[in-house]
């Protein structure tokens, strides 16, 4: 504003002269003083008639202090308000590093053929300038988040009032009134807490952003930084995550889905519920029609062909159990790092889907009736490459991994370890043991059926999961040999040399137990289960590359052949016959006391899989045992995932016995007694006696009837 010239404020000489030429007015003559009585008589009526005037004067006199106090209060309010805003302005976060992204290192997990299925940390894509951001996503976001973005100054009072009224009517927060600028301020500088102080800082930062940047720059910053769920920030990361393409290639349907995520990224995430995400995208399209970005016909055409995820037909709800396990192993491979990583893994998505379906099918069909609430599953190659992993029924309800972390009693599945120790120490499938009561220092184990069957081969004892024979094998070869075999197979933990070691009373994990059976499947070589094939920096060098396994042989081929023999019998006609897939397979059932744990672990020439069912609190189920739910689940999975369908295992050629069963019983007894006496080895069990033919009729009849 121009200031007034100095001359304009003074009087002119002409005006002075005019004032000086006026004649002087004569002073009036002084009035005579009246008497006191007359004055009094005349003053009284005058006071009475001027009463209202004096009252008005008194009223205005009373208002003067009020006005003065009001002004003072207003002044103090302005002063305090200024101090209040000054405090929040002073405590604003540092805004000098607006172009610097502070984020957690990201890890992207993918299959061997490059399909990405899980991310950890903060995943950002390319930072796109406004001209490279597609119009469809800009319009979709503006229509739903801030339709007056190009008209306001960072704050939209109308939206705030409307949101406040709707929230008041609903009795809860159902609508926000924040502009895109306010959201950007919050995303860049503030925490998500809902407090008055945070809202004031957000508003001040929004004003600052509007003053420092153009509208296009603010919109570009917002779209490159906003959270789209699943650990992804910015539209480029989101389109690559959900649609496997860069942002400039997104379609209108995909843009509508991404814009719909902004309201609640986790709730509307298409990876969690694709139909819900598509419904939300439809709402976005409606808003775009209202804002004249689309015609109703265009919106309807897009709505009829909604966006879908890459490989969305396969719902890998529980893949995070495997992913969590892999991520926990990364530091052991490369140490600590702050780099973004791409991890290539052993996971087979089709097998993972088969495992999820098989577990859920059994729990859905039998869970309530049989009082069983949880299941776990592991599948791996015979060399230990984990192909599928289920750590529980639903990851979203429980992240506790029952396949890798939980340790449960394996029950009769542990008999695999017992028999391996026995076969390594000279026993054979055709050796005869007596199924009869056992008493070791007062410990008297029973069979599952509480019945005893007399003399039988180790093949039958294993296939029928006879407890007494497993105990006798352990006592004959030595408990220390059984514990040593467990450790050689990779089972961790403490294995006290108690007689009950033979019945699987010590806790193991499903992953470890499945890997132990993989040793039998691969011919006797050590197995260390693994899920990582390669680790590399994003757009950088390879940090780790898995080499061909160099593990050594720990079990002889002869022992492996014997073990595959008895385990095949388990599936063909023993306790695991419900798992029989119709091609070469071997396995073992396991059930713990009171049906608290039920297991089945088995293998084909190409694949090893383990199943567990039970309850997290260790409560008893209603007769869930290894022969029913686990065996059925294993068969369901293996018939879908095993592709070779080999007719037999590759075994060393052995001379087949032509003796009758009775001759084998007598010869086995005679040979073992003579061997024991000549070598000073472990004595034959006292209760193992050559049965009379008449006492063995039932046994021989059962052998003839077995398929």
- Catalytically annotated residue among 106, 118, 145, 502: 145
Q: How many angstroms separate the Cα of 633 from the Cα of each of 40, 55, 126, 363, 613?
A: 121, 100, 45, 10, 10
Catalytic-residue membership of 412: yes
DSSP at 451: -
First to last CA, the chain: 109
The rounded Cα 127 to chain-centroid distance in angstroms is 27
DSSP at 240: H
Catalytic-residue membership of 145: yes
d(CA 226, CA 243): 18
Q: Is 449 exposed, middle or buried (0-12, 13-18, 19+ CB in 10 A)?
A: exposed
- The contacts of residue 511 (CB under 8 Å, 6+ apart) are 378, 386, 389, 403, 404, 529, 610
Residue 108's region, left for phi above 0, alpha for psi from -120 to 50, else beta, is beta
Q: Is 61 exposed, middle or buried (0-12, 13-18, 19+ CB in 10 A)?
A: exposed
Are 290 and 143 contacting, i.e. CB atoms less than 8 angstroms apart? yes
Are 489 and 418 contacting, i.e. CB atoms less than 8 angstroms apart? no
Are 260 and 284 contacting, i.e. CB atoms less than 8 angstroms apart? yes
Task: Rounding to the nearest 10 degrees, give the CA dihedral for residues 172, 173, 175, 176.
Answer: 150
d(CA 336, CA 340): 12
d(CA 612, CA 592): 11
d(CA 384, CA 613): 22
- Helix segments in 555-612, DSSP class H: 557-573
- Catalytically annotated residue among 118, 381, 412, 696: 412
> Which residues form the catalytic set?
145, 412
């Amino acid at each position: 504003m121009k200031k007034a010239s100095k001359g304009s404020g003074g009087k002119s000489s002409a005006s002075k002269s005019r004032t000086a030429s006026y004649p002087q007015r004569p002073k009036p003559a002084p009035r005579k003083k009246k008497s006191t009585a007359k004055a009094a008589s005349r003053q009284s009526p005058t006071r009475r008639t001027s009463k209202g005037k004096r009252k008005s004067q008194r009223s205005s006199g009373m208002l003067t202090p009020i006005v003065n106090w009001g002004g003072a209060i207003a002044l103090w309010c302005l002063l305090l308000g200024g101090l209040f805003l000054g405090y929040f302005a002073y405590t604003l976060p540092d805004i000098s590093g607006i172009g610097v992204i502070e984020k957690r290192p990201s890890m992207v997990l993918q299959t061997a053929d490059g399909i990405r299925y899980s991310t950890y940390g903060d995943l950002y894509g390319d930072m796109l300038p406004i001209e490279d951001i597609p119009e469809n996503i800009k319009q979709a976001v503006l229509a739903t988040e801030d339709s007056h973005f190009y008209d306001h100054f960072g704050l939209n009072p109308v939206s705030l009032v409307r949101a406040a009224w709707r929230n008041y009517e609903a009795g809860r927060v159902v609508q926000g009134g924040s502009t895109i600028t306010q959201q950007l301020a919050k995303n860049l500088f503030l925490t998500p807490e809902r407090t008055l102080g945070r809202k004031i800082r957000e508003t001040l930062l929004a004003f600052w952003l509007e003053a420092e940047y153009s509208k296009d720059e603010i919109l570009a910053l917002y779209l490159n930084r906003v959270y789209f769920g699943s650990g992804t920030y910015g539209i480029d990361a989101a389109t690559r995550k959900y649609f496997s393409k860069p942002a400039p290639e997104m379609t209108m349907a995909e843009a509508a889905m991404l814009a719909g995520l902004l309201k609640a990224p986790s709730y509307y995430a298409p990876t969690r519920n694709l139909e819900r995400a598509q419904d939300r995208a439809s709402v976005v399209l409606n808003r775009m029609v209202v804002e004249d970005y689309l015609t109703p016909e265009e919106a309807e055409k897009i709505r009829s062909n909604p966006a879908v995820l890459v490989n969305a037909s396969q719902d890998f709800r529980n893949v995070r159990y495997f992913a969590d396990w892999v991520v926990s192993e990364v530091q052991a491979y490369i140490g600590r790092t702050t780099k973004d990583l791409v991890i290539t893994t052993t996971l087979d998505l089709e097998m993972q889907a088969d495992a999820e379906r098989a577990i859920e099918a059994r729990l859905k069909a039998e869970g309530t009736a049989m009082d069983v609430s949880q299941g776990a599953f592991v599948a791996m190659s015979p060399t230990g490459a984990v192909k599928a992993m289920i750590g529980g029924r639903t990851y979203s309800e429980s992240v506790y991994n029952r396949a890798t972390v939980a340790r449960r009693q394996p029950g009769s599945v542990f008999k695999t370890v017992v028999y391996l120790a026995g076969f390594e120490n000279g026993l054979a499938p055709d050796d005869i043991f007596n199924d009869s009561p056992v008493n070791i220092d007062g410990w008297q184990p029973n069979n599952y059926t509480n019945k005893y069957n007399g003399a039988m081969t180790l093949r039958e004892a294993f296939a029928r999961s006879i407890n007494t024979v497993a105990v006798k094998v352990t006592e004959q070869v030595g408990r220390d040999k059984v514990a040593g075999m467990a450790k050689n197979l990779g089972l961790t933990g403490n294995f006290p040399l108690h007689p009950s070691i033979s019945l699987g009373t010590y806790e193991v994990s499903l992953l470890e137990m499945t890997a132990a059976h993989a040793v039998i499947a691969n011919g006797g070589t050590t197995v260390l289960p693994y899920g990582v094939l390669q680790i590399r920096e994003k757009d950088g060098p390879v940090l780790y590359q898995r080499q061909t396994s160099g593990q050594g042989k720990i079990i002889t081929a002869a022992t492996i052949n014997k073990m595959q023999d008895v385990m095949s019998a388990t599936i063909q006609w023993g306790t695991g016959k419900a798992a029989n897939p119709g091609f070469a397979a071997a396995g073992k059932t396991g059930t713990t006391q009171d049906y608290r744990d039920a297991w089945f672990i088995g293998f084909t020439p190409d694949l090893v899989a383990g199943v567990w069912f039970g309850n997290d609190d260790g409560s008893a189920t209603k007769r869930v045992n290894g022969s029913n739910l686990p065996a059925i689940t294993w068969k369901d999975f293996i018939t879908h995932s095993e592709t070779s369908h080999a007719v037999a295992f590759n075994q060393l050629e052995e001379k087949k016995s032509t003796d009758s069963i009775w001759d084998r019983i007598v010869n086995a007894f005679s040979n073992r007694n003579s061997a024991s006496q000549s070598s000073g080895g472990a004595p034959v069990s006292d209760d193992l006696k050559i049965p009379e033919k008449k006492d063995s009729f039932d046994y021989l009849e059962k052998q003839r009837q077995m398929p």
